[in-house]
Amino acid sequence: PNAISVRGLSKHFDDVRAVDDLDLDIADGEFFSMLGPSGSGKTTVLRLIAGFEKPTSGRIQLGQEDVTDRAPYARDVNTVFQDYAIFPHMSVRQNVEYGLRVKKVPRGERRERAEQALATVRLDGYGERKPHQLSGGQRQRVALARALVNRPKVLLLDEPLGALDLKLRREMQIELKEIQREVGITFVFVTHDQEEALTMSDRIAVFNEGRIEQLASPVELYEKPASTFVAGFVGTSNLIEGEVARAILGEAGRFVIRPEKVQLVGPSEAPSADARVCVAPGVVREVVYLGSTTHSVVELDAGTTVTVAHHNFDRSIDAALERRDQRVVVTWRRDH
């Protein structure tokens, strides 16, 4: 069953097509991400689902119910924003209980559910603190607890980790994924960070100019990008333009090869003609040390530049550096 179904959804702001004729199905219990550059329409899609925006056209269904014409409070969704709006003068517990108070849930049940939500986000024992006594990561967890306490069917998260520093963000990514598995709620997670989307998601929709360029699992998105836009936005790519000499795919075009799928060898080590391996000679122009990996940038004789990634096992960086300005051959498997 689907938690969310969207059909022909558009939102225009004057002549800007923020969302352009979108069809989308998100499954129950799925961790679904919307990934795309700034301005690609991600937030607008979330706001349409939450009911904060009225669509120009199209329908939105939550579970079995068409909610297109319903007010936000009459939709079984909650939203967590980047600038988590928690009340500074209230304790953590009061913040988490707030939504339940508004709904007139009795005090005892309120307490219990707030405790549960705080435990879920690993904040047991923090109920009496004030927001200013918490770290940024903890405040973000309060915002999450506040959304979870309502037990919505769907949680919408708009760049919720964007304000955190990189290390904390990485930790929260793993934790958020664990929490989602525990509670089993459908998460719709918006981010412009491709690594974040790959880490957390069951499926990812890549947005570009109000449309979905590709919707796939993280592995499929990375291994089989459907367009040059996706290839360029998700991971690092070598984009190689050329002519198709013999039609294999039936189409002329460009191809993409990931840096870690390319190997670099000396001119004499090049494999002899093997139909499964592509071979191209060139010169190493640049060697960039990146800690866990090293990138060698090779200018092919054919004119294109190709980046080759090596893992820094032992001291392979020394071998890479020795190849700077040397003639080399790059190879990759045809199926890659």
Give the separation between CA 325 and CA 40, rounded to whole angstroms. Answer: 41
* Residue 161 backbone dihedrals phi, psi, to 5 degrees: -105, 5
Size of the site for ligand ADP (CB under 6 A): 11
Give the separation between CA 61 and CA 103, rounded to whole angstroms. Answer: 24
**Helices 136-148 and 166-183: crossing angle, nearest 10°?**
20
For residue 39, the partner it binds in Mg ion, ligand ADP, none, with Cβ less than 5 to 8 A by kind, is ligand ADP
* Residue 210 CB, nearest approach to Mg ion (Å): 12
Place of tokens 């000679």: 281
* Residue 264 backbone dihedrals phi, psi, to 5 degrees: -125, 125
For residue 18, the partner it binds in ligand ADP, Mg ion, none, with Cβ less than 5 to 8 A by kind, is ligand ADP
Examine residue 44 and tell whether it contacts ligand ADP (CB under 6 A).
yes
Using CB under 6 A as the binding rule, the residues of this chain from 23 to 42 that contact ligand ADP are 36, 38-42
* Binding test (CB under 5 A) with Mg ion, winner from 40, 43, 186, 296: 43
Q: In which element (H, E) is residue 73 found?
A: none
* Binding test (CB under 6 A) with ligand ADP, winner from 16, 163, 265, 321: 16
Give the separation between CA 73 and CA 288, rounded to whole angstroms. Answer: 52
Beta-bridged to residue 311, according to DSSP, are 293
Beta-bridged to residue 190, according to DSSP, are 34, 158
For residue 152, the partner it binds in Mg ion, ligand ADP, none, with Cβ less than 5 to 8 A by kind, is none
The CA R_g of the chain, rounded to the nearest whole Å, is 25
* Residue 237 CB, nearest approach to ligand ADP (Å): 22
For residue 139, the partner it binds in ligand ADP, Mg ion, none, with Cβ less than 5 to 8 A by kind, is none
Output 41 or 131, the one with its CB closest to ligand ADP: 41
Examine residue 237 and tell whether it contacts Mg ion (CB under 5 A).
no
The residues that touch Mg ion, with contacts defined as CB under 5 A, are 43
The residues that touch ligand ADP, with contacts defined as CB under 6 A, are 13, 16, 18, 36, 38-44
